[in-house]
Amino acid sequence: MGEVKVLGAWPSPFVMRARIALNLKSADYEFIQETMNPKSQLLLESNPVYKKIPVLLHNQRPVCESMIIVQYIDDAWPTGPSILPSDPYDRAIARFWAAYIDDKWFPSLSTIARAQGEEARVEAIKQVISGIQLLEEAFEKCSKGKSFFSGDSIGLLDIALGCFLGWIKTTEKMAGVKILDPETVPHLVGWAERFCADSAVKEVMPETEKLIAFAKAKFQPPSK
Amino acid sequence: MGEVKVLGAWPSPFVMRARIALNLKSADYEFIQETMNPKSQLLLESNPVYKKIPVLLHNQRPVCESMIIVQYIDDAWPTGPSILPSDPYDRAIARFWAAYIDDKWFPSLSTIARAQGEEARVEAIKQVISGIQLLEEAFEKCSKGKSFFSGDSIGLLDIALGCFLGWIKTTEKMAGVKILDPETVPHLVGWAERFCADSAVKEVMPETEKLIAFAKAKFQPPSK
């Protein structure tokens, strides 16, 4: 399949999506750690519109935006296991929830750590909890009693939500909230364990302690 | 292909996407005009997460979000002309620019009419013009000298941008700006004419005068 590179950074959930998709296809790739500050020439040239990671470079041709990369990998490696469901309706539903996660749910998750004031923080937590409840219901419908959103193996929607598991655990510890609560979202709790244990995910899912250290250095001002 | 309904409203560019895709596939469908105020029971039940149009109902099963609907139609009517490019890389590029249009470009276009103050208005116009310039360059690369972004016939990216042509013309007239300027974006000017003249588009593209009357009634306060 030629030369494959992923331009990214280890803590980024979006970069993880590209890497999990390549792992699912058993594709060899080079992981290029982007330093971000300053942004590399390769990043600026590969993604001139957004200047953001991840970028997939396949035979030097760049593909940007994590969910577009995942779908590209599924299209370009047709011999591996399918990442998108084969049924058109299942595919539409997977895309719907993947877009919901990025457009509605994740912005609330990322707000928890950065919220200005207690009211904004409480509102963000409320949004995250009600969103995860919706995703629990979506899991019950999509998985049809199987292990993953996509059935027996990891697919598009599993990758879309699963890439945030490290940051969910980090947020739970740092903000003292329970997001993946076995009492309220038991299916997602079981799913999260299976997802993190999968061989395509294990090597790219950062340890929570490492993410906490990263978040503290990045988001919290040094004490004077 | 069973029963097909589109729940929408005639001035909505997003609804137009679903209708153009169905027209391209020569699919018969019922167009249900959603009144929005109050929202119909059918809309609330079909799209409980966003409560927004368009909704495609295919044998009573709802599909929401316009670009997901377009891709669903392409998947579910495989015998018609392809809406997505067949090459994986071309497909990724079409998805990239379609997402750019929705996430970055259209928000600026819709800001022009509603901008608070001259500074915000000028900034929105600047964003729209620089975005359309990027899309001119994308057209040159994607179309490879052919009539549409997708080649010889209308595809995903054509639908993504083309659905805004009525609103571009409306904004040009109401705000006194030139967005599709033959001097700066000659390829897009030619493309826009071909797009609007296509039989899949003609019947669903609202007349500019009708959109202006709609916009005046909706966005401008009545004179006292």
Q: Give ipTM to 2 decimals.
A: 0.95
Cis peptide before B85 (omega within 30 of 0): no
A68 to B99: CB separation less than 8 angstroms, yes or no:
yes
- Considering only CB atoms, which residues of chain A are within 8 Å of chain B? 49, 58, 61, 63-65, 68-69, 71-72, 75-76, 88-89, 91-92, 95-96, 99-100, 134
Report pLDDT digits (tens) over B159-206.
999 999 999 999 999 999 999 999 999 999 999 999 999 999 999 999
Report pLDDT digits (tens) over A65-89.
999 999 999 999 998 899 999 999 9
Q: Phi and psi of A2, rounded to 5°?
A: 80, -165
Choose among A72, A89, A99: nearest Cβ to B92.
A72
Q: Which residues of A touch B2 (CB under 8 A)?
A: none
Q: Looking at residue B218, what is its pLDDT?
A: 82
* CA A49/CA A207 separation, integer angstroms: 32
Choose among B65, B76, B92: nearest Cβ to A63.
B92
What domains can you pick out in chain A, each with its CATH number?
Answer: 4-76 (3.40.30.10), 88-216 (1.20.1050.10)
* CA A54/CA A34 separation, integer angstroms: 9
Q: Which residues of B touch A58 (CB under 8 A)?
A: 89
Residue B223 has pLDDT above 70, yes or no: no
Of A184 and B219, the one with more pLDDT: A184
Q: Which residues of B touch A88 (CB under 8 A)?
A: 72, 75-76
Q: Looking at residue A132, what is its pLDDT?
A: 97
**Mean pLDDT along residues B124-141:** 96
The partner residues of B7 in beta bridges, in order of sequence, read: B32, B55
Tokens 């901008």 found at: B115
CA of B193 vs chain A CAs: smallest distance (Å): 27
Residue B46 has pLDDT above 60, yes or no: yes
Based on C-alpha coordinates, what's the Rg of chain A? Answer: 17
* CA A168/CA A135 separation, integer angstroms: 14
B76 to A89: CB separation less than 8 angstroms, yes or no:
yes
pLDDT band of B1, cuts 50, 70, 90? confident
Of B35 and B73, the one with more pLDDT: B73
B92 to A71: CB separation less than 8 angstroms, yes or no:
yes
pLDDT band of B64, cuts 50, 70, 90? very high
Choose among A49, A72, A100: nearest Cβ to B88.
A72
Choose among B58, B65, B134: nearest Cβ to A49.
B134
CB B24 within 8 A of CB B83: yes
* CA B155/CA A144 separation, integer angstroms: 33
Locate A109 and state its tokens. 């998750």
CB atoms within 10 A of CB A55: 26
Mean pLDDT, chain B, as a whole number?
95
Name which of A33, A27, A25 is nearest A6 in CA terms.
A33
* CA A107/CA A75 separation, integer angstroms: 28
Beta strand residue intervals within B70-220, DSSP E: none
Q: Looking at residue B65, what is its pLDDT?
A: 98
Locate B52 and state its tokens. 């927004």
CA of B119 vs chain A CAs: smallest distance (Å): 24
Residue A189 has pLDDT above 90, yes or no: yes
Locate A77 and state its tokens. 């490696």
**Mean pLDDT along residues B134-152:** 96
The partner residues of B30 in beta bridges, in order of sequence, read: B5
Q: Which residues of A touch B96 (CB under 8 A)?
A: 63-65, 68
B68 to A95: CB separation less than 8 angstroms, yes or no:
yes
- Work out how many CB contacts closer than 8 A connect A with B: 56
A65 to B99: CB separation less than 8 angstroms, yes or no:
yes
pLDDT band of A12, cuts 50, 70, 90? very high
CB atoms within 10 A of CB B197: 10
CB A108 within 8 A of CB A120: no
CA of B40 vs chain A CAs: smallest distance (Å): 21
Report pLDDT digits (tens) over A106-157.
999 999 988 888 888 899 999 999 999 999 999 999 999 999 999 999 999 9
Name which of A74, A42, A78, A49 is nearest A64 in CA terms.
A49
Residue B32 has pLDDT above 90, yes or no: yes
